[in-house]
Structures are given as C-alpha cells and as structure tokens.
A and B are shown apart, each in its own frame.
Chain A
C-alpha cells in the first residue's frame, strides 16, 4: 500500500484546541448581534445606519490594510469586531461620517500602523472611540429617545446619567425618584413591569423598586447603541466566559472594584450617602458593563497572566469610578481602559521584576 497522504503537518502537536484567534473574534461579533437587532428595533434607521456604515468602513479599511501589509487579514474577524465595537459607542442618529472616520482611524492607524493584529498596543476600537469624542464632542453627546418610549422617531434627550448629574436639590430622594420628580421620560413597559414586581414580589419583602430601572436594563432610555441592551450584553458575556474566549479575571476584577467603590463613596448623585451609593444605577447606566466584557478583556491590549489581569482589571474599575464620580461625561470608562492599555507593559514588567526578586530571595 503506497502512501497518498499529503503531510500538511510537519511538526507536533498534530491536534489543536478548537479556539483560534479568528474564531474568537467572529464569535465575539456574533454575541453583539442581539444588541444590533434590539437597537435597530428601538431606534429604527437612526441605529441601523450607524451599524451599517461602521461595518462597511471596517471591511473597506481592512482590505486597504491587507494591501498595505501584503497579507490577507479580513478572515481573522478582528476588523468586523472593531467596526461593531466602535459603532456600539456611538449615539443613534449621529452624523454618519463620524462612525466612518472613527472606524477607519481604528483600523488603519491604531491597528495597522503598529503592524496589525497582535502588535497593536492600544485597543483599536477604543482608539477610534476616543478619536470620535475628541473630534466631535457635541455630536457624540446628542442622544435620542427610543421610539418605544416617545412613540415618535428622533426626539432628542439627555441620558439618565447626564440628567441626574445635573439635578440639584431634593437630596433625600433616591436618584430614580428624583428623575421621576423632574418628569424624566418613563416607558409604559417599565411602569407595568415595575408595578407588577412591586405588587407581587417586593411588597412582600417590604421593599420597593423605584420606576426606571427596567428602562435602564432594556435600553428604553437615551444612550449609545451599545448601552441599549444590557440583558443581551450580559447574555453575550456569559457566552464569552463560558467558551473561555476572554480573560475572565479582567471584567470580574473591574466590576468588583467599581461596584465596591460606588457602594462606599457613591457617584455624586442625589440620594446617595456614604456606604449608600446606588450600585444598580451605576451599573445599568453608562457603558461600564459593555466596556468590562468587550473592551477591557480584549486580549491583545491587556496584560498576560493571572496577577497582571487582576491588577489591570482592578485599576480600570478604580479609574472608572474616579471618572464617574468626579468626571463630567459617561465616556470616562473608555478613557479608563485606554490609560491602562498604555500601562500594560509597565504592569507586566513590575510583576516580572517582583517574581525575579522573590526567586532571588529563595
């Protein structure tokens, strides 16, 4: 029996894990699809146009980058993922040249200029988002009220977070009640569900859920596209963690530190006291959860190793808290991760030096 086997494989190991960097990027992109769908439902064409433009620019930019680097890289999925992530940080109805230019900047400048996937020290999507905020600060902060709340398309409004920051007086009211007191819009869905839960569940426990949290969780509030589906986001993160596609310690450390600091010191909103911060509001408004699972845990720009991941995640959590407590805008979370991207080599070097010192001491 003569061999007709072409040996493609010339070195061990001859079997591999199913995870590849390309597959990870594609699965990550897939987990964002429910958010794309939901935001398109609640914002209509204002959302859809942003997603489409971002994706198209991502594909074109990656094709150009492939030409420049002389290797075909569209298959690795990172361009599509970057496009989706940049779009997720955009408010619906934003002028369409903004996602287009930001995505092109992400892929062509932040990623390709440093040598392509794996060599970029900064998360490309975050680079693009920071670029957009720096360039078009006004347009990036004009939000729309979902048509499921207002009944009509294209009503502009400010996010609950920005609105609450502007509230003065009534400091004994909890933040949600203060928002209601200032007649901040509330959807019928929220009042129905919250009313039901209060009547049948919380009243028996002697508790009361203020109106408005359901709106925050299901995205019926003005905000960026990525914030519009907290539940879908959590489902996606379960998929990513379950398939072990992201480093779990980073989002866990980040959210834990952020939550603890918010609980202790509050975020400067009405109704908060020392050791009485509104954690639920802090987590369900703004992009903390989105950034934790989709940005901070990006493998390329985060440090490698268990201790490093913990330090990195915890530092992002702390920075998020600082930006949220004293900063002016909700995009602080993006800058928190960017700062730590820059410090990643420093963290890795410090722990290495520590390990060396310990090894020498033994």
Chain B
C-alpha cells in the first residue's frame, strides 16, 4: 500500500476540473469522495487509501497537462480491502439507477479517461452502433486486457451485459488478438453462452497500433468508425465492480514491464501510488533503464521520475533499455518511404512533414494532417529518427512550428 497517494483530479486535458470536497487536514476514509464532478469530462474522485489530506495543489499529470491533485497520506485502517465484496443483483436496477452509480463511483474509460457515464449517455441517445469489447493492444508489451479475459471472464461479460443494457447496441463484438490462447477463448465462449448475450468473438491480425477504432472498423468492414463504441475489458471490470460491489474507481490494472524490469507483471495498483512502488514490487530494475514510459511505447509519455503517480488511465509502466529504444541521431529525411508504408491512416507522413517544415500548414491539413491519430507508427519506422509525431502534434495544436 502506498504511504502517500497523489490523486489527480483531471484525467484528460480538456476536462473541467472536479471540485474538491475535502479540506487540508481532513481525515478521509478509503473510498470517500474527494472531489465532485463539475461539468463536461470530469468525474468524481475518491480516496484510494484511508488517511489525512495533506495538500491540494496544482501539478503536472503524467499525461503532460496541468491539474490539481490531492495528496492523502496513509493513516487508519482499510475498510474495503480484505472485506468480502458486497454483491448486488444489478438486473433489478433500472437504467437511471445504474447510470447514477456509474457517475457516483467516478468510473472512467481507461483507454481515454472520459467519464463512462457521459459516453454511455451519449451512445444511448444514438442507437444503431456496434459495441466492441476490445482486448486489442497498441504495442507488443502490454497484454493486460487479454489476461483479464483469461482470469475474470465472468466479470468482463457481466460488465458487458451492464453496458449493453444501458446503451442497447445493435451488435456486440469481442475483439481479441489472433494469438490469444485457445483455452481462454473456450472459457469465454462458455461464459458468453451462459450470459444469454449475443457476443461474437472476433480475432484480429496483430499489426500495431492494433487498438485504434478506425483500424477495428476497417477490419470489420464498417465504413464509419464513429459507429463503434469501444470499451476495454478493464473498463468493463471497473463498471462491473461499481454496479455490483459498489466500488469506486480507486484501483487500476497496470502492466509493469520492459527490458529493464526484473519480473514483469500485471499489478492491481491503487490510484495515486508512485510508479516506483510498482517497479519495486516487480523486483526492481535489471540492467539499465534508458527511459521510463507511462502508457505505451508508441503513445505514452516519459516519466520525469519514479514519484509520478498512477492515474485512472495508467495502463502500463515500461522501463526500456537502450536495445529497445534504439535511439539514433536525427538525420535528414532519406525518402525511404517506410513511414507511408506503416501509416494506419494511409497518410504520407514524409510529405506532410515536408509541407510543415516549409511553413505550409494549410497544405499539410489538405494532405491529411488532422486525420493523424498520433499513433507513432511513422516515427517508430523513421530511419532518420525524425520526431514526426511530435511535430504533427505541435502543428495540430497550433503551436509554434520550428
């Protein structure tokens, strides 16, 4: 258990910041409400540990934006941990009740950080979409979602049943990687059959970034990626626990791995715990980590130090060695065309980069700059190590372009 938990109030850059409902010096119980949703994009925040509120101050989130954070230092006994979870029969609840619980418990979509209550309400108002339970990953490291399918298939399917009840999708697809074990699939099929839900299990070819909505839509032959409602098994488990066990979003499955971690593992971590604790729990470093990344190697962000705390969108902590990062000096573009070959959006990154460097942003937009999802595939492949994604991101956000 962390001695201190630093709980970020915002999970996305554009969210309205939730309002703290505690004061410095106040004693809080585990799961007690710390901050209340205050508008679009914001969700309730609960205390992951029992203790005393030490500070409420502005800080930089691991996602790279400013947010206030509440620091709680451990004191007193755990009330939720170790207790047998309560079990409510959610099928007797009506939609309004469930929606209230999801909002109350501050459940967010783990892949994006948006409040789940908000996106569910949005989907429910526009019928005719496909619910995709996506156990696909964005990189070759993390396999958390697949692991959750293997160890908690009942909870995932039950969470899916809740989501389906709330939004009434026209179809439900369970998207899995092509290399998933046959035993997991068999178990899942049994659980699905018992649940009376019509879920079709669909294996996907492993080509990163595999998890993006547009890639999934293309593979399923669906023209409009907007008609997909993508939720991950981890989000469904959080949803399930909130509705069935009344548990707020204070825990998070985090994959700790990379070449510099002694024993890579999937941990169930408290929100607000420093990533250094997680790494220690995995036996610490083996060898020399060159970079510590939060999120994923393609779209994550480097951690400034090991005190950075786990948030509700922290899905992985990777300690990468030099052999994995394969850093090289940046050179001029040699026009090899590898970036075009790998771009999942079918863009021409080399050309867009050239236009941006020439200061022709409107031409770059015409060439598809705004369709760029910043997935990192082009910069991964770039032989001259040009920070393409960094420049595209800066240009999209209208920052000064060098």
Interface residues, chain A, with chain B CB atoms under 8 Å away: 1-3, 5, 7-24, 76, 115-119, 247, 299-300, 302-305, 309
Contacts and interface: CB of A to CB of B under 8 A. Distances in A.
B335 interface: yes
Contacts of A17: 326, 338, 380-383
B332 interface: yes
Contacts of B350: 304
A118 B302 contact: no
Interface stretch (B47-55, B92-100, B291-299): B291-299
- Report the interface size class on chain B: 35 or more
Contacts of A119: 332
B298 A300 contact: no
24 contacts: A1-B279, A1-B280, A7-B291, A8-B291, A9-B291, A10-B302, A12-B301, A13-B298, A13-B299, A14-B293, A14-B298, A20-B326, A20-B385, A22-B331, A76-B331, A118-B331, A118-B335, A247-B336, A300-B335, A302-B335, A304-B336, A304-B337, A304-B348, A305-B337
Interface string B80-102: 00000000000000000000000
Contact of A247 (B303, B307, B331, B337): B337
Contacts of B222: none
B340 A304 contact: yes
Nearest to A6: B290
B300 interface: yes
A3 B297 CA distance: 20
Interface string B342-354: 0000001011000
A13 B376 contact: yes
Contact of B389 (A11, A116, A299, A303): A11
Given A1-B276, A9-B325, A305 B340 contact: yes
A15 B332 contact: no
B182 interface: no
Contacts of B336: 21, 24, 247, 299, 304
B337 A13 contact: no
Given A8-B290, A13-B376, A16-B326, A299 B337 contact: yes
Contacts of B303: 7
B387 interface: yes
B387 A15 contact: no
B74 interface: no
A333 B340 CA distance: 29
Interface of B: 139, 276-277, 279-280, 284, 289-293, 297-307, 318, 320, 324-328, 331-338, 340, 348, 350-351, 376, 379-385, 387, 389-390
A268 to B, nearest CB: 36
Contact of B328 (A2, A22, A118, A302): A22
Contacts of A21: 331, 334, 336, 383-384
Contacts of B301: 12
Contact of A12 (B306, B327, B389): B389
Given A5-B305, A5-B306, A299-B337, A16 B380 contact: yes
A1 B292 CA distance: 14
A95 to B, nearest CB: 33
A299 B328 contact: no
A19 B292 CA distance: 23
Contacts of A7: 291-292, 302-304
Contacts of A22: 328, 331
A9 B327 contact: yes
Contacts of B334: 21, 24, 117-118, 299-300
Contacts of B348: 304-305
Task: Name the residue among A14, A16, A22, A23 with the largest chain B CB count within 10 angstroms.
Answer: A14
Contact of A13 (B332, B333, B389): B389
Report which residue of A15, A18, A309 has the largest number of chain B beta carbons within 10 angstroms of its beta carbon: A15
Nearest to B377: A13
A286 B148 CA distance: 62
Nearest to B295: A12
Nearest to A356: B366
A224 B387 CA distance: 42
B300 A19 contact: no
B212 to A, nearest CB: 14
Given A5-B292, A304-B351, A16 B325 contact: yes
- Listed from nearest, the 4 A-B pairs whose CB atoms lie closest are A118-B332, A13-B376, A3-B305, A15-B297
Contacts of B390: 11-12
Given A1-B280, A11-B389, A14-B320, A117 B331 contact: yes
B305 A12 contact: no
Contacts of A3: 276, 292, 304-307
B306 A1 contact: yes
A313 B384 CA distance: 24
A157 B390 CA distance: 59
Contacts of A247: 336-337
B333 A118 contact: yes
Contact of A16 (B139, B302, B332, B385): B385
A13 B293 CA distance: 10
B335 to A, nearest CB: 5
A247 B383 CA distance: 13
A20 B333 CA distance: 11
Contacts of B326: 15-18, 20
Contacts of A20: 326, 328, 331, 383-385
B300 A12 contact: yes
Nearest to B293: A14
A76 B330 CA distance: 11
Given A17-B380, A299-B334, 9 more contacts: A9-B290, A11-B390, A12-B390, A14-B291, A16-B325, A117-B334, A118-B334, A304-B335, A305-B337
Contacts of B351: 304
A14 B305 contact: no
A9 B337 CA distance: 24
A19 B291 contact: no
Contacts of A304: 335-337, 340, 348, 350-351
B321 to A, nearest CB: 10
A12 B292 contact: no
